[in-house]
Structure 1
């Protein structure tokens, strides 16, 4: 192995990993379009925009790092300019296509997720059961409030209630949650009460 083979290989690997990450963001965005499951990790409800944005960001950083590293090595003479113009042109076209698809798709997914807000309400039950509220906005200013229950020790929440709302997003501090054993009652920001819901189903 020559002295310059490692830097040359590292630049190529950075580019390849960046492309893979950007393609991965597109796949995740496409495969989760109709995914309605709600998962709860601690006090956080993961969104598809989190995964798509992370993959896109990592991909961009790797592409930039690989490109800059290749330019530095070429200027130092440690990496000769490629004579395979077909390979160079193909790599540039592939990079452009991936960027043209991945970046707008990331913005679109973030925009779609921006219409909803999830809140893991406090307090949790004595056994650790959690109540999750999804506030969904709409184009006309009205919205809906969907309530989920995440039993203790489980990460997938089940939908238990649905209520229309004439307001936009409220925020977690606007809800009044009360527990009676493992049964939850909830007072909405508009003043109406809903529930009770059992953690055991």
Structure 2
């Protein structure tokens, strides 16, 4: 059974990490280097735990130096990634996929992290007042957002691990079939792409 890892931003903007083997008994919290202005997102690549978060409008990341997640690198900025909201992470074999709402224009952009570092930044063709949600299903990456009209939209991109940047072009955003409305950021998960959102009206 694999470990569970939990990350959160503390009351003093410190980044805290915990782990559990069963979801009931948790380790002591470990403070990772740096400060966060938003909540964090976690992802694992090549058995290494990575963490992204925003600090003063800059998307930053750090990764663990051991399997217990008790030692972390100094955090560094993700190239060209500016956001005041929590970024989103998704994982495919050997690749971390990152999506974030750009602070300047409100559009959502994506990039990837591989053993070679960070890839190019790609626009997802989605604009949002909230944080994006990201999930991988097979060889497709999905990004869900709350639109300026408070409806929920989703875009997808094919994942091609044989290319230098595994995210190919994103499709234009499509309205989720039920046309739900929300005042918050949605959440997205695989098996097979489950969407959760806070309803704007009952």
Q: Is TM > 0.5 for Structure 1 vs Structure 2?
A: no
Q: TM-score range by the shorter chain?
A: 0.3 to 0.5
TM-score by length of 2: 0.34
| Larger Cα-atom Rg | 1
Which one scores higher on RCO, CA 8 angstroms, separation ≥ 6?
A: 1
Q: Quick check: which one's helix share is greater?
A: 1
